[in-house]
Amino acid sequence: MGRLSRSLSLAAVSLAALVAAQGGAHAGAFGIREQSATAQGLSFAGAASGSGYLSSMFWNPAVITMMPGWNTEASLSLIVPRVDINPLPSVPTFAFGGSGDIGQDAIVPASYNSYQINDMLWVGLSTTSPYGLVTDPRDNWAGQVYSRSSKVFSLNVNPVLGIKVNNWLSVAAGPSLQYFDIRLKRAAAVTPGAPSVILDGDDVGFGFTAGVTLTPFAGTSIGIGYRSRIDHELEGTVTSPAGSIPISSDLTTPDQLTIGISQAITPALTVHAGFEWTNWSVLETPLVTGPGGVVVTDLPLNYDDGYFYSLGFDYKLNNQLTLRAGVAYEESPIDTEIRSTRLPDNDRIWASVGASYQWNDKLTFDVAYTHIFAKETDIRILPGHQDYEGLPFVADVDASVDIVSVGLRYRWDNPAVAIPAAPIVRKY
């Protein structure tokens, strides 16, 4: 049970990171970046400086002061991954075959609301899913002792207060409540038909978001946003053919810093750039405890930090239609030294296009499409690898992702009589 317990405990916390296995979520390790149909059309360039309109508050809550009146924005993103793990002939269990497509299609919702109290104060509320995935390889495959099906679900509720300090500076902050749930399976043995061992765990944690926007010149918007780390103490069980035992494990979702700049070139053309740092190295090596608080094992995650660089533009073709496009490069926190069947993550390139159509002065529709090109990826679980459990496993990973997002923006009050907001330094 010791080896099994160690493997399952490792998977329990690593499962979250499975999200970025190019198979469910796409923000390095276990983050979901698809929180805005508008910003996605730019590959999230300028997300912290307002390129995503109200949904930019996910990255920087201070952007709500750019939105006069009472506003709602909602989006749905369909993530269609394809991830195949193909073992090499040298693997002892090669005859059992590859994983098949472990990527499962997923729909990620997000919603945002803001209300302007007066010419200085705004309140806002976002409901998002920052982490999550569903992956499902074939039950009987060459790497089944390292992973079978895996699921992560999260829900984050974040009220904020925004203050327009003056015509060029706004700030905002608010608490963040996050529910986090995991369920994962692995085979108890290498033989086909072996029973599964299942781990379940969940928790509610608390953190905060904060941000600032600067408009130093007409046509220029700069945004800096911060999402804090959130500590979770997962409580749950491990169920195996031998029975069920309670376990707990500390998991910290990482803090994140996002910087954006939006620059109007002409009245119709705006260029956006973005940078994002995610502190994945905060995970380190958590401990897992069983009954009586006895340490069962540790969890050698040992990620690097993640980085995301983006550039995009939008062009207002006429009073109703805006077109946009963007590219991005993402440095994964996972490399070959720690990559496993649960984490076939690697560096990747994003390419996106999008459009908005303003139906009237209250209602706007958004749509975006992204294709993610993954760098050539391999898995090398050999003696010395942190996941090694006595079965050498060497494989190549074939992965790509398509994402389609739709959204709408609605203004509930009458724009003609609303309180003016911060000076608009780019088109809205």
Cβ proximity of 362 and 410 under 8 Å: yes
How confident is the model at residue 418, as a pLDDT?
Answer: 57
CATH of segment(s) 2-417: 2.40.160.60
How confident is the model at residue 14, as a pLDDT?
Answer: 34
Nearest-angstrom CA–CA distance, 273 and 220: 12
Nearest-angstrom CA–CA distance, 58 and 378: 33
User: What residue type is 306 in one-letter code?
Assistant: G
57-100 tens-digit pLDDT: 999 999 999 999 999 999 999 999 999 999 999 999 999 999 99
Nearest-angstrom CA–CA distance, 397 and 249: 29
Query: What is the model's pTM?
Result: 0.88
Q: Encoding tokens for residue 340?
A: 């496993």
In degrees and rounded to multiples of 5, residue 71 shows phi and psi of: -130, 150
Count of CB atoms within 10 A of residue 267's CB? 9
106-161 tens-digit pLDDT: 899 999 999 999 999 999 999 999 988 788 899 899 999 998 888 889 999 999 99
Instruction: Name the nearest CA neighbour of 395 among 411, 413, 409, 382.
Output: 382
196-238 tens-digit pLDDT: 988 888 999 999 999 999 999 989 999 999 999 999 999 998 8
DSSP-derived pairing of the beta strands 243-253 and 230-240: antiparallel
Cα torsion for 348, 351, 357, 362, to the nearest 10°?
20
List the chain domain ranges. 2-417
Q: Does residue 15 surpass a pLDDT of 80?
A: no
